[in-house]
A and B are shown apart, each in its own frame.
Chain A
């Protein structure tokens, strides 16, 4: 597989980018969730 580096890089960018965004939103949700009562969270 001659092009392995480029192929892996494209997968790392896609999976890593999505993972970073997910991690950021979960961390933010946890931080804000501590500051607000559950009455202000209609999804619960």
Chain B
């Protein structure tokens, strides 16, 4: 009975190498090779972290919602979906925290303050807190099915905040800028190297995301398997105790 192997496969090892190389390239291009902005100067370099991480956080929360829906739908019900949802939310929360942190540093340089109760910033903070709550709900205890069901409901409610965050800059007055690179109707022209670095950071953080979800959902599967084995063992012990007591009487 071979024992001791973890969650790595040839594919995830290759993915890990690609993620590390691309992150190193992001550091090189983001900090050294890309030019400073005409208006913002050097502080524009925070853009590559800020946008790359928020992209992954959005993707992570949407994957959490889709996986949760797949769990709740009877035809596709499987705990694999629940584990993917949980793994995805964990890295989404981390990257959303980085987005808020990097954004506050950038805000200090651009707006003169670390924090403003602005529509985009505030709704993003609410989104972050909602998914911290989602992770707390996952840890409430109970059976795997109870965990999966209640956290799936929370995930489907929390994801409704994403459109609110995205469109907050249009719905309310905001100091945070609207989408400018992806929006073709604006007259914003981004330098080719800046655009490349932005795309590179998005790819690099996405690779980290995929690597993490693959490994983490396998870790969660092992945790569930060990839980089940522990429960089976406890039940067997209880049964043998009960049989022993009957024999004594």
Contacts and interface: CB of A to CB of B under 8 A. Distances in A.
B6 A26 contact: yes
B29 to A, nearest CB: 12
- State the main secondary structure of chain B at its contact with A: helix
Interface residues of B, number: 47
B233 interface: no
A27 to B, nearest CB: 10
A32 B219 contact: yes
Contact of B42 (A3, A9, A39): A3
Interface residues of A, number: 35
Interface of A: 1-4, 6-11, 13-15, 17-18, 21-22, 25-26, 28-30, 32-44
5 contacts: A6-B105, A11-B30, A29-B6, A37-B2, A41-B218
B46 interface: yes
Given A13-B102, A32-B223, A7 B31 contact: yes
B97 A17 contact: yes
Contacts of A35: 222, 226
B229 to A, nearest CB: 8
B49 A36 contact: no
Contact of B101 (A13, A25, A26, A40): A13
B102 A10 contact: yes
Classify the interface of chain A: helix, strand, loop or mixed: helix
Contacts of B221: 41-42
Given A3-B109, A6-B108, A36-B3, A25 B219 contact: yes
A14 B226 contact: no
A14 B98 contact: yes
Contact of A44 (B1, B9, B49): B9
A2 B211 CA distance: 35
B91 interface: yes
B102 A26 contact: no
Interface in B106-124: 106, 108-109
Given A1-B42, A34-B4, A29 B225 contact: no
Nearest to B109: A3
B42 A2 contact: yes
